[in-house]
Amino acid sequence: MIQALEYLGCGILWVGSMILTIVKKNPIGIIILTLMHGTECFLIGVKTGLEYGKKLPYCIVMCMTFGFTWWLPLKQQMAAETFTEKDFELTPEILSKFNHR
Residues that bind another protein (CB under 8 A): 1-5, 52-53, 74, 77-78, 81, 83, 85, 87-91, 94-95, 98-101
Q: Which among 8, 12, 14 is positioned nearest to 37, based on CA atoms?
A: 14
Q: Which among 86, 49, 87 is positioned nearest to 66, based on CA atoms?
A: 49
Structure-derived torsion over alpha carbons of residues 10, 12, 18, 22, reported in degrees to the nearest 10? -170
Q: Which is nearer to another protein, 31 or 95 (CB)?
A: 95
Q: Which is nearer to another protein, 57 or 88 (CB)?
A: 88
Q: Which is nearer to another protein, 27 or 73 (CB)?
A: 73
In the complex, least distance from residue 75 CB atom to another protein, rounded to whole angstroms = 10
Q: Which among 2, 15, 18 is positioned nearest to 70, based on CA atoms?
A: 2
Q: Which is nearer to another protein, 12 or 95 (CB)?
A: 95
In the complex, least distance from residue 49 CB atom to another protein, rounded to whole angstroms = 11
User: Measured on CA atoms in the order 68, 77, 57, 41, is the torsion positive or negative?
Assistant: positive
Query: Rounded to whole angstroms, how far apart are CA atoms 83 and 42?
Result: 28
In the complex, least distance from residue 41 CB atom to another protein, rounded to whole angstroms = 19
In the complex, least distance from residue 51 CB atom to another protein, rounded to whole angstroms = 8
